[in-house]
Structure 1
C-alpha cells in the first residue's frame, strides 16, 4: 500500500514502495527498448544477407565458362583440324581481349601464324573472329566457334603438331562485369579484376 505524507512545504512525499515500482517500470522500459533495437538490427542483417544471396544467385545464373581446345583427325587422304572456342556456361561471354603467341612471339592474325609454320599466308583454312564478340552459352544447344578450321591433311597435321608451341589467352566477362581468363588447352579459368588490353598485342582474327 502506498503511503503518502505531507512535506513541510505542502508537497506530497512518495513512499519507498512507489520509488521501487517506478524503478522497475523504468528498467522494464529500457529492456524493452534494447530488445526492440536488437530485433530491428537482426531484421536488417537478415534482409541484407538475403539480398546478397539473391544477387549471388542472379550472378551464378549467367556465369559463362570459356574453354579453348581442338579437334583433329588425320589420314593419308584426308585430315582435319579445328581450333575450338566454347562457352560451356549458362550465360553469354563478352570477349574483351584475345592474345596468341607462337614460339613466344605475339601473333596478330592467322596469316602471321601460317607465315611462321608454312612460309606463306593462309590459303584454304577458314577462320572466325572471336575478339570483341559475344559468345552465347551452350544451354539447350551446342555452341562452338571454330577460330580456324582446315581440311587440308598437311595443314591439319602441322597445326596439331605445333599445338604445344601456341599460347592463347581469352579474357571475357559476364553481363555483371565479372571477368575471367581462359588459357589454351587448360580446363580451369582464372578470375581477374578486369580485362585489360594495355601493353598487349591483340589477336584480331
Structure 2
C-alpha cells in the first residue's frame, strides 16, 4: 500500500516508523527543484565551454587566413626585330609572407639544377647576359603595398627572349612554400591554382637553386 503523508496537526511521535520517514510534499518539491537547477547549471556550463572552444577555433582560423601567402609563377615577354625581353616572374599575391621551402624545374621532363643547365639545353652554351635571382630558400613578402616580384631570370637579348618564350610549355616548375603557421602549398608554372600539401618535400628531388 502507498505511504500517505500525515495530516498537519498529527503528532509525529504517534505515527508508525514508515510514516515518520516519508518525505512531506514540501521537501519533495525542494529536492526536485534542486535537481532541475543542477541539470540546468550543468547544461549552461557545457554550452559555455562549447561556445568558448568554437570561438577559439574561429579566431585561430581567422589568424591563419590573415597571413595566407599566394605564390604564382608567370612571365612577361615583349619581342621585336631589334629589341626583346623575357622575365620569369615569381610573385606573392597573398597577405602574408611565403617561406620558399622547395623549388624544382624541368625542361622536357629532365630536371634542371640551375639556369646554366637550362641555357645549355636550349642554346648549347652557358648563360652570359641574362640576370638571375635566387628563389629557393627565400622569404617572399606579400605584394599588397609594393612590388616584391622576384625576377628568377631576365634577359633583354631578343633571340634568348624569343627562345625562352617559345619554350614556355616545355618547362615545369613547382614551388613549395609555407606560411608562418606552417601551412604549405605548391604553386605550378603558369597555373593560377595552388594546391595545399601537408609539408614541402626536398628528399629525393633535384632542387633548382638558381
For the aligned pair, the TM-score class normalised by the smaller chain equals: over 0.9
Q: SS at 2:24's partner residue?
A: helix
Q: Report the equivalent of 1:53.
A: 58
User: Aligned partners of 1:88 and 1:79: how far apart in 2?
Assistant: 27
User: Aligned partners of 2:146 and 2:157: how far apart in 1?
Assistant: 28
Q: SS at 1:64's partner residue?
A: coil
- Name the stretch that deviates more: 134-143 or 179-188: 134-143
1:2 aligns with 2:8: yes
1:39 aligns with 2:63: no
Q: Which runs of 5+ in 1 are unaligned?
A: none
User: Aligned partners of 1:96 and 1:86: how far apart in 2?
Assistant: 15
Q: How many residues align?
A: 204
2:72 alignment partner, one of 48, 67, 80? 67
TM-score (norm 2): 0.92
User: Aligned partners of 2:8 and 2:15: how far apart in 1?
Assistant: 20
1:156 aligns with 2:161: yes
Deviation for aligned residue 1:24: 1.6
2:100 alignment partner, one of 91, 95, 103? 95
Partner deviation per Cα, 1:5-60 (whole Å, 9 max, x = no partner)? 344699895496x5222222111111100100000011111111111111111111
User: Aligned partners of 2:16 and 2:170: how far apart in 1?
Assistant: 106
Q: Report the equivalent of 1:168.
A: 173
- Name the stretch that deviates more: 6-15 or 80-89: 6-15
Q: Which runs of 5+ in 2 are unaligned?
A: 1-6
1:116 alignment partner, one of 76, 98, 121? 121
Evaluate the alpha carbon distance shift between residue 105 and residue 15 of structure 1 in structure 2; reply closer, same or farther with a 3 A threshold.
closer
TM-score (norm 1): 0.94
Q: Report the equivalent of 1:142.
A: 147
